[in-house]
Amino acid sequence: MAEYTLQAEPPLAGTEMEIAGVRLSAPADLAVVSLALPLGGESAAEEAVKDAYGLDFPGIGRSALAGDGTRLIRLAPDLVFALFTHATPDAERVVAEGLKGAVYTTDQTDVWVALALSGPNTRRALERICPVDLHPEVFGVDHAARTVMEHLGVLILRAGADDYLLLSASSSARSFLHAVEVSLRNIA
């Protein structure tokens, strides 16, 4: 029955601006799937991840980039997020199939919205909202942390020298964008 079809309307779709020399954008089609490691099945899970992505589990608060562009972020001893570009609403199934039941997977794609910031002024702007010390020697490339910005839970990831990815709850996307955008405008 194809009488009705559903169009995706991600909350921050199309966000794209440059302020204070910082490029701010919402990555399109970013899928997020959580991987929970079964109690006692950690080694099997690690092997399955290695098979699927060619990566060892990153340490807690660290991330790693697989050859296929998937980024694994270790948030807790038994929790890993997989971030990858995937448009259709079956990201969880795709990851689950690849890991062959070695982990518990949950689709987190629509739980989060993401904002990517890049440019040398990014850290100076984030000083206004991010309590985490982002000094390059403290928060290195591939580091990740969960924190709170303007009362919003945020997962921050340093993807490159001056590239950061911020994830926050999708329902408060507008407040999240406002917080980041104002930070940029205030240093411009």
Partner 1 sequence: MSQIHRIKGGLIDRSTEISFTFNGKAMRGHPGDTLASALLANGQRLVGRSFKYHRPRGIFTAGSEEPNALVELRKGAAQEPNTRTTVAELFDGLSARSQNHRGSLEFDLMAVTDLLSPFLSAGFYYKTFMWPRAFWEKLYEPAIRASAGLGRLSMEEDPDTYDKGYLHCDLLVIGAGPAGLMAARTAARAGARVIVADEDFVLGGRLNAETLEVDGAAGADWAAGVVAELAAMANVRLMPRSTVYGAYDHGVYGVLERCTDHLASSGGKPRQVLWRVYSRHAVLAAGATERPIAFGNNDRPGVMLAGAVRAYANRWGVAPGRRVAVFTNSDDGWRTAADLAAKGVEVPAVIDTRDAPAVCDVPGARHMRGAAVMDTKGRKGLRQITLTDGQMIDVDCLAVSGGWNPNVHLTCHQRGRPAWRDDLAAFVPGHDLPPGMVVAGAANGAMTLAAALREGRVVAERLGYADKSDLPRAEDEPRDCAPVWHVPQSRARAWLDLQNDVTVKDVKQAHQEGFRAVEHLKRYTTLGMATDQGKTANIPALAIMADCTGRTIPETGTTIFRPPYTPVPIGALAGRARGREFRPYRLTPSHRWAEANGATFVEVGNWLRAQWFAREGEQGWRDSVDREVLMTRGSVGICDVTTLGKIDIQGRDAGEFLNRVYCNGFATLAVGRVRYGLMLREDGIAYDDGTTARLGEHHYVMTTTTANAVTVFRRLEFARQCLWPDLDVHLISTTDGWAQFAVAGPNARNLLRKVVDESHDLSNEAFPFMACGEVTVCDGMPARLFRISFSGELAYEVAVPARYGNAMMGVLMEAGREFDAVPYGTEALGVMRIEKGHAAGNELNGQTTAHNLGMGRMVSRKKDCIGNVLSQRPEMLREDAVKLVGFRPVDRATGLIAGSHFIGQGDAATMENDQGWMSSVAYSPSLGHSIGLGFLKRGDARMGEILRAVSPVHGREMEVEVVSAHFIDPDGERLRG
- Give the nearest distance from C-beta 78 to partner 1 in angstroms: 7
Decide whether 5 or 67 has the Cβ nearer to partner 1: 5
Mask 87-126, x = binds partner 1 (CB under 8 A)? --xx-------------x-xxxxxxx--------------
Going by C-alpha positions, the residue among 174, 185, 19, 45 that lies closest to residue 102 is 45
Quickly list DSSP for 130-179: --S---TTTS-TTBEEEEEETTEEEEEEEEETTEEEEEEEGGGHHHHHHH
Query: What DSSP designation does 90 have?
Result: -
Choices 9-17, 50-58, 64-72, 115-123 (CB under 8 A): range interacting with partner 1: 9-17
Choose, by CB under 8 A, the member of 34, 63, 70, 118 that binds partner 1. 34
Which residues make Cβ contacts (< 8 Å) with residue 72, sequence separation at least 6?
Answer: 35, 49, 53, 55, 57, 58, 63, 64, 66, 80, 81, 82, 83
Report if residue 133 touches partner 1, rule: CB under 8 A.
Answer: yes
- Give the nearest distance from C-beta 123 to partner 1 in angstroms: 11
Report if residue 7 touches partner 1, rule: CB under 8 A.
Answer: yes
Alpha-carbon distance of 72 to 60, in angstroms, equals: 11
Report if residue 10 touches partner 1, rule: CB under 8 A.
Answer: yes
123 CA to centre of own chain = 18
The footprint of partner 1 (CB under 8 A) covers 1-11, 34, 36, 38-40, 78-79, 89-90, 104, 106-112, 127-133, 135, 138, 150-152, 169-176, 178-179, 182-183, 186
